[in-house]
Amino acid sequence: MKNLLNTAITAALEAGKAILDIYHSGEFDVELKGDNSPLTKADTASHHVIMSFLTTTNIPVLSEEGKDIPYQERKDWSQLWIVDPIDGTKEFIKRNGEFTVNIALITNHKTELGVIFVPVTGELYFSTKALGAFKVRIDLKKYSVDKLISNADKLPLMRKDKTFTVVASRSHMSKETETYVSDMRDKHGKVNLISKGSSLKLCMVAEGTANCYPRFAPTMEWDTAAGQAICEHAGFQVIDWHTKESMLYNRKDLLNNWFLVK
């Protein structure tokens, strides 16, 4: 598992370099995919970098930018990588920095390992079921994976502000989410509501800066797998709103149900 973690971290960091080169150039070449979601050349570049590392593990990969794998082919996979080369492409295009690289290892439908890298800030989140979850800030110009792992802070971190905090989507706020926040205000009194893009919302719960993340709008497996790994390995839950149990992965339908992180 240590070798797989090192490979996933290296893949995410090197993908981050490729993304930042395009981000700073301003030449995104935005296209619309079949579902009208945006695709940039940074998504494609990140995908190719990540695949160059993960294919060496001989574990199959399900990536947002290579997702057309029939269920009949992947249904018997006991283990797989689930990848989002850029989670938060809309935020990338807006240039607000709230986008991430997500890599998760799934074993028998459950989270085994998670890596989330925030290229603009240099923040890296990673976890395994055995080790727990961690956060570290790195310099992309020079890094050692072994050193950054040993220097990382274990999650959750100590929190100074005890006000009940809800984190929600910046781009996909729904009426149901607003109702949930209102219910929390009735229950807890004062409530902080923070809007964030991408899997940063899951990271905020994992590190202890938010108490919960309700998601009552569509997401796909690659949007949540790495964040769920990090949350679960930090001691939190990602609950499927319909089954009332932990979300499972490599399902026939890759569209997630609503969920609650707490």
Beta bridge partners of 153: 135
User: For residue 200, what are the domain limits?
Assistant: 164-261
pLDDT tens-place string over residues 235-259? 999 999 999 999 999 999 999 999 9
Residue 159 lies in a domain: no
Residue 222 lies in a domain: yes
pLDDT, residue 29, reads: 80
* Residue 228 to residue 242: CA distance in whole angstroms: 17
Query: In the predicted model, what is the mean pLDDT of residues 159-177?
Result: 86
pLDDT, residue 9, reads: 98
Q: How far is CA 49 from CA 14, 75, 80, in A?
A: 7, 26, 17
- CATH number of the domain residue 52 falls in: 3.30.540.10
Predicted TM-score (pTM) of this structure: 0.95
147 and 171 co-located in one domain: no
81 and 175 co-located in one domain: no
Query: In the predicted model, what is the mean pLDDT of residues 224-233?
Result: 98
pLDDT tens-place string over residues 95-125? 999 999 999 999 999 999 999 999 999 999 9
Average pLDDT value over all residues in the chain: 93
**Residue from 149, 36, 53, 48 nearest 105 by CA:** 53
Query: In the predicted model, what is the mean pLDDT of residues 86-100?
Result: 92
Residue 145 lies in a domain: yes
Q: Which of 154, 179, 200 is the last residue of a domain?
A: 154
| Residue owning tokens 């959750």 | 156
